Amino acid sequence: MKVLLVDDHPLILTALQSVIRGLGDDVTVVGADSAAQAREALRASADFDLVLLDLQLGDADGFDVLAEMRQRYPALPVVVISASDRGSDVIRAIDLGAMGFVPKRSSNETLFDALRMVMSGGIYVPPITLGGDPAPAARGGDTVPDVMRVSAPVDIPIREAAAAAGYQAVSPLERIGLTPRQTEVLAKLLQGKPNKLIARELNLSVETVKDHVAAVLRALGVSSRTQAVIAVSQMTREAQGLPRG
């Protein structure tokens, strides 16, 4: 596995390189201390498997760099490694396409768990209270966050399971009382599909799909699709015996 680590603090960059190499003998870590250096590394090599990105960079805003990477390299997972653990920052990062968000205060074991989850097709978020910080303002209409767009897929566990028998999120989701149709809509929603496509695939009207999406968000106790991704991720963590917070 080849990892690009982007952090402008020399000591943290060195420490994280050492930690990430602990994932296995086959792990190669390339360090970049600026957004410019990260761009050059990605242009020079197309074989990176993962990017770890700090949000506080000296030459660029980390959120802008995240959005740029997701647009230019949609198949390359990006995990944010940040000194912040604010819910609003987590939600914004996921909305921009991050496959994970790991606070720098996390233990090495937590970082390992997060990276393994991402590399196995999951999405990792730290335990947060979704109602604690306002979500980014909706951009109007049937907006799908970048993390959930088909053009920049994020294969969270529920997505793969929804396509096969034994939909693994059914057990925790049963507790919130979704109907079978709402569960189908949720699976489509988490695949990054807009309401019109969900309606066509499920042979429903767009208005009916909107009603189901609204019901799903209410059942999850969230107000946006991005928050739904985070909520389901945390429920999946709970089902796997990992703490939600």
Give the model confidence (pLDDT) of 34-85 as tens digits.
999 999 999 999 899 999 999 999 899 999 999 999 889 988 989 999 988 8
170 and 83 within one domain? no
Q: Which of 102, 119, 136 is the endpoint of a domain?
A: 119
pLDDT in tens, 7-22: 988 888 888 888 888 7
153 and 224 part of one domain = yes
What average pLDDT does the segment 93-118 reach?
87
Instruction: Answer yes or no: do 216 and 168 share one domain.
Output: yes
Mean pLDDT of 126-155: 44
Does some domain include residue 218? yes
204 pLDDT higher than 70: yes
Task: Judge whether 244 lies within some domain.
Answer: no
How many folded domains does the chain comprise? 2
- Residue 63: inside a domain, yes or no? yes
Backbone torsions φ then ψ of 136, nearest 5 degrees:
-60, 145
Check whether residue 38 and residue 114 sit in a common domain: yes
- The whole-chain average pLDDT of the chain stands at 77
Asked if the structure places residue 128 within a domain, the reply is no
User: Same structural domain for residues 175 and 108?
Assistant: no
CATH assignment at residue 99: 3.40.50.2300
Whether residues 16 and 101 share a domain: the answer is yes
Quick one: 164 and 112 in the same domain? no
Domain housing 230: 146-239
Dihedral (CA of 48, 52, 58, 61) sign: positive
Q: Would you say 182 and 219 are in contact if contact means Cβ atoms under 8 Å apart? A: yes
Q: What is the reported pTM?
A: 0.64
Same domain for 158 and 215, yes or no, is yes
Give yes or no for residue 182 having a pLDDT over 70. Answer: yes
Q: Is residue 131 part of a domain?
A: no
Residues 107 and 164 in one domain: no
Question: The domain that contains 170 carries what CATH number?
Answer: 1.10.10.10
Pair 228, 157 in one domain: yes
